[in-house]
Amino acid sequence: MTREQARDCLPTQLQQWGKVRLLDGSGTVHAILGLRTPSTRDMSFMHYRAYGAAQEERYGQLQHILGIPIRSEQPVILAIIRRCQPLPSYSLDRIAYDTLGALQVVGLDRLDCVVGRVQDSRGRWTIIERAESIRIGDVQEE
């Protein structure tokens, strides 16, 4: 395909959404740059699966939700995510970061769930995932 042929296939307009409800019912994620009025709660952070041989599981902040129209078919919907840069000093059961890294583009089907985060006194953030089922230990009465 030549450069001119590829250019002719590109749409002249893109669709953009500000939020999307995940199909599994785990929540609604908001694109931080697609909202008209920001909420007091930040629901733009999520767990997602990256493309590639390892199909790494990652955390990041959803920047945009874009739809690319393809001739008479449903649009291809892409999520543009700014990846959290994990800190190496934390344990595997706690994911923490202090900066956001490079942008990554994935299909909307790669988004797993909305996550929360808590900031500590040193400015680092710890990711909090909502458990699907809460396990309560045995209570022993005296």
Q: Contact 103/80 with Cβ under 8 angstroms?
A: yes
The answer as to whether 72 is a domain residue is yes
Specify the pTM: 0.76
Domain extent, residue 59, equals 10-128
Confidence of residue 39 (pLDDT cuts 50, 70, 90): low
Per-residue pLDDT tens for 89-123?
655 567 888 899 999 999 988 888 888 888 888 88
Cα–Cα distance, 4 to 82 (Å, whole number) = 31
Cα–Cα distance, 44 to 41 (Å, whole number) = 9
The answer as to whether 5 is a domain residue is no
pLDDT at residue 36, as a whole number: 61
The answer as to whether 69 is a domain residue is yes
The answer as to whether 59 is a domain residue is yes
The answer as to whether 140 is a domain residue is no
The residue among 19, 53, 51 whose CA lies nearest residue 36 is 19
Split into its structural domains, the chain has a count of: 1
pLDDT at residue 102, as a whole number: 92
Is the alpha carbon torsion for 55, 56, 61, 63 positive or negative? Answer: negative
CB-CB neighbours of 12 under 10 Å: 5
Confidence of residue 20 (pLDDT cuts 50, 70, 90): confident
Phi, psi for 84 (deg, rounded to 5): -75, 135
Confidence of residue 72 (pLDDT cuts 50, 70, 90): low
**What CATH number corresponds to the domain at position 79?**
2.30.30
- Between residues 60 and 13, which one has the greater pLDDT? 60
The answer as to whether 135 is a domain residue is no
